[in-house]
Amino acid sequence: MIKNKIKSLVNNNYLIGTEKYFKASVAIPIFIKDGEEHIVFEKRSADIRQGGEVSLPGGECEENEKDSSLAAIRETREELGISEEKINYLGKYGSLVTPFAALIDVHLLELSISSIEELNFDKTEVEFVFSLPIKFFLENQPEIFYAKAQVIPNYIDANGNNIELFPAKKFNLPEKYSKPWGTHKHRILIYKSQPEIVWGITAEIIYDFVKKLKELS
């Protein structure tokens, strides 16, 4: 009976619509420098996707990686140029659903290094690496900005053509859905750190991670 099938679908941890999301996995790589916990960050090379941005090691999960932790470890190993023997997997921290249709799993890694100079990072993907002490994020709040996020049902392309993505009028939907709609404000966090600012999705992940650390103290 359908009723019995419905009961079997009860799952409070189920996230609806994940098949349409870009699935990625990132790591928060932590190491001890001068007796203090540091996080390793990357500045991405200019010629790759999201070039010039500061990020954590990570990327798209491959089809054969049934557990996103495998992707986080692989990307960390490849991007930072560190052997797997020097990576200690601590566990999954959580998942972030972004406003840009991405589902990002976040994992905690401990690196057996004492300096970022030991990293032979991939220069085709990474311009340079740097580290910041976790203490910096514990003691400094990010600046908060917002950008307006809207649903755009149609747009004008480079050739001046009107591209209709969602034909609201065809389905006799309210007129407002033929124009951009939505008033959602997308939060953008900025940490004024050196040598580079930490911002955007990376800052969201670190902000949440540090908030949880504070709750434990």
Q: Examine residue 1 and state whether it is found in any structural domain, yes or no.
A: no
pLDDT single digits (tens) 74-130: 999 999 999 999 999 999 999 999 888 899 999 999 999 999 999 999 999 999 999
Same domain, 95 and 42: yes
Compute CA distances 116 → 46, 111, 125, 128, 133, whole Å. Answer: 21, 10, 16, 10, 13
Q: Examine residue 161 and state whether it is found in any structural domain, yes or no.
A: yes
Same domain, 130 and 151: no
Q: What's the domain count of the chain?
A: 2
**Beta-carbon neighbour count of residue 191 at 10 Å?**
20
Q: What is the mean pLDDT of residues 55-72?
A: 88
Same domain, 42 and 86: yes
Q: How confident is the model at residue 207 (pLDDT cuts 50, 70, 90)?
A: very high
Same domain, 181 and 156: yes
Same domain, 113 and 202: yes
How would DSSP label each residue in 167-206?
-TGGGT--GGGGS-EEEEEEEEEEE--SSS-EEHHHHHHH
pLDDT single digits (tens) 176-195: 999 999 888 899 999 999 99
pLDDT single digits (tens) 17-43: 888 888 999 999 999 999 999 999 999
Range of the domain at 119: 18-139+196-216
Same domain, 145 and 135: no
